[in-house]
Chain A
């Protein structure tokens, strides 16, 4: 009875709102529907991974935005993971100075809104850094100026592409090697040095490819020509500020997750492992890490998802991510309902696929108690 009442209430509310909306849209002559996706967008996008110009359609502009979001999320998550782990370990270091500094970093970064941090870094790039003519060069081959950060990168050569393929092949080989080694150990009890063999494969195979292709060492060093840099790889100030803000903010949370995970493994576990005669590195890889990972992974994934969702703040500093492009689209076409629905749908796809993965992972590693 109560349920029927609730459903009626929600249904009525939805009906009321939607009917109002349709009425209002008709009155303001807003056509609903997805027809606008094919229309010419007539706005430029500063950065794009795929060819795009203002004569392309809104659909393609939105695709450019989605790819930019993915790019910043991917790079941001990788750097955050590394930096967060380092700071998390530093937090429990026996070195008083390092541990205290890590603590201050975590506390300060967690307590300042990420949007404020983005504004801060963006201002640093735009206002504090000099023009390209007086660009700062903290390390050889890296230039910082108000046009962004410019790095020296290896000059284009066919060897780099082949090396990437070699890396993929090596990873595949390592995967099969691991399976084979586990099977052999289960059957015969003999161990195979998987780690050193994998390392050799991952590093060695691309190296051999590099040698075979004539070992190119030429670098493309950025050079000042006229008012801007030529050569090298340039990162726009928007992208750099967004990445820096997101990484510094999220890595503080990741550090806390890592610290809590490592500390959650009871001391008795270490002692028990040592007492059955495991060497220190085996204690870490066979006993502590598997247990810590079970605690670390779920909150870690949710932090990575947070970073992805926070990348939507790019709209505030003008990096053309999905929300930013969708916002421009809404302003130009007036298709507000479709635009906001698209934003929500894209992020929902990210989060739902992540939670599906999470459920699968949780089932895989959950404690099986007898």
Chain B
């Protein structure tokens, strides 16, 4: 008998389950107008949105010009997106020789392809490393030229998006292992090594990146023996790596300290030496634990590459500023800066959402 009997002894009529689907009004009452304060808040916010959003849409879309020449833009009240469309190739590629733009384009597509391919954790094998080495070498050859009949292009002519991506990708990949070494050094039992690492990390973290960039552009040439010069991009790259590594080291130290003492003891009791214990037991767990903060460090490093503007490297922010200094296109800064912002936003946002995905996948304690 699975049907309850009612008072009269007759089986009760089957009843539908209560409705859990909420209609729009009920949802609004629960989420927008629960209590007088929230109702007032909703109304105020709606009023502000009404004041701000329609004019913005009017400016950005309805009254905007997308391909018009500079002259037509001056007559219009709307946004002048043609500043982007007319200078698109300069913003993206900088001073790279115009007829050779296909080379950085292919290099970037290769990079995006590699990143897209490595997204899946199932593909993280040794072969992937070889693909990356091969890919990076191809990109280098494409950018630099000089062999296979490619016209050589000096690094001083590199710029725009390829430069930003170069600084970010090499900066992040080189800073990570350095950060791990520094973190291990800081946790080391050897007093001297530990002190050295502490001094390095605290020193770097205490100063702004811009001072390191100044150092790389002004002082570093003084450090080199006579006649030896290192090009400006590489010097800025080194400054970014040294800076990011210190921050990564601190995050990883957090992971190492968060490990249970039992893990170290278990590794010792298995007879593993320091190197084996770290590589097989400690680091895999510690690094996994600190994925979220590591990614936020990587994201800020990506954003910080824009600081090379100050030492006059032509990254994507500097090329767009150069466009704005052209008398024909003066005064359209909001359009250009919004365009560059969208690029940075997409980069950071995809990194953040990938890290959330990775975190879910690696969560073995579920």
Contact = CB atoms under 8 A, between A and B. Distances in A.
Contact of B317 (A10, A101, A115): A115
A114 B303 contact: yes
Interface in B324-355: 324, 330-331, 333-334, 337-338, 340-341, 344-345, 347-349, 352
Interface of B: 31-32, 34, 38, 41-42, 45-46, 190-193, 196, 202-203, 205-208, 210-211, 214-215, 218-219, 221-226, 299, 303-304, 306-307, 309-310, 317, 321, 324, 330-331, 333-334, 337-338, 340-341, 344-345, 347-349, 352
A21 B222 contact: yes
Given A111-B345, A310-B208, A312-B210, A348 B334 contact: no
Given A6-B196, A20-B222, A310-B208, 6 more contacts: A7-B196, A95-B41, A113-B344, A309-B208, A313-B210, A343-B211
Interface stretch (A77-85, A119-127, A199-207): A119-127
Given A119-B321, A119-B337, A127-B331, A343 B224 contact: no
Contacts of A107: 349
Given A6-B192, A116-B317, A119-B333, A309 B345 contact: no
A124 B193 CA distance: 50
Contacts of B324: 123
Nearest to B332: A127
B196 A123 contact: no
A94 interface: yes
A273 B110 CA distance: 59
A123 B323 CA distance: 14
Contacts of B317: 113, 115-116, 119
Nearest to A310: B208
Nearest to B46: A97
11 contacts: A7-B192, A21-B219, A27-B226, A94-B31, A97-B42, A108-B345, A110-B348, A113-B303, A116-B340, A124-B334, A351-B207
A340 B211 contact: yes
Nearest to B340: A116
B303 to A, nearest CB: 4
A145 B331 CA distance: 15
Main SS at interface, chain B: helix
Best-surrounded residue of A95, A110, A337, A351 (most CB of chain B within 10 A)? A95
Interface in A292-332: 309-310, 312-313, 315-316, 323, 327, 330
Contacts of A24: 221-222, 224, 226
Contacts of B31: 94-97
Of all A-B residue pairs in the complex, the 7 with the closest CB atoms, nearest first, are A123-B333, A111-B348, A351-B206, A96-B31, A113-B303, A309-B208, A312-B208
A197 interface: no
- Measured as residues with beta carbon below 8 angstroms from the partner, the interface class of chain A is 35 or more
Nearest to B211: A343
A312 B211 contact: yes
Interface of A: 2-3, 6-7, 10, 17, 20-21, 23-25, 27, 93-98, 101, 107-108, 110-116, 119-120, 123-124, 127-128, 309-310, 312-313, 315-316, 323, 327, 330, 336-337, 340, 343-344, 347-348, 350-352, 355
Contacts of B349: 107, 111
A98 B211 contact: no
Nearest to A351: B206
A155 B203 CA distance: 46
Contact of B310 (A2, A25, A116, A315): A315
B214 A340 contact: yes
Nearest to A121: B337
A93 B203 CA distance: 40
Contacts of B226: 23-24, 27
Contacts of A340: 211, 214-215, 218-219
A195 to B, nearest CB: 22
Contacts of A327: 214
Contacts of B306: 113, 115-116
B310 A347 contact: no
Contacts of A123: 324, 333-334, 337
B304 to A, nearest CB: 7
Say what secondary structure dominates the interface of chain A.
Answer: helix
Contacts of B196: 6-7, 10
A95 B32 contact: yes
B92 to A, nearest CB: 16
A348 B203 contact: yes
B348 A323 contact: no
Contacts of B205: 351
A3 B192 contact: yes
B297 to A, nearest CB: 12
Contacts of A2: 190, 193
A21 B324 CA distance: 39
The residue among B191, B321, B333, B334 with the most chain A CB atoms within 10 A of its own CB is B333
B338 to A, nearest CB: 8
A323 B38 contact: no
Contacts of B341: 112, 116, 120
A336 B222 contact: yes
A312 B34 CA distance: 45
Given A94-B31, A115-B317, A337-B222, A3 B210 contact: no
Contacts of B340: 116
A260 B337 CA distance: 31
Contacts of B38: 93-95
A9 to B, nearest CB: 11
A352 B344 contact: no
B32 A96 contact: yes
Nearest to A312: B208
A3 B193 contact: yes
A20 B333 contact: no
B190 A3 contact: yes
B160 to A, nearest CB: 15
A21 B210 CA distance: 21
Contacts of B34: 94-95
A104 to B, nearest CB: 11
Contacts of B203: 344, 348
A112 B344 contact: yes
A128 B34 CA distance: 41
Nearest to A114: B303
Nearest to B348: A111
A113 B211 contact: no
Contacts of B191: 3
Contact of B218 (A23, A119, A312, A330): A330
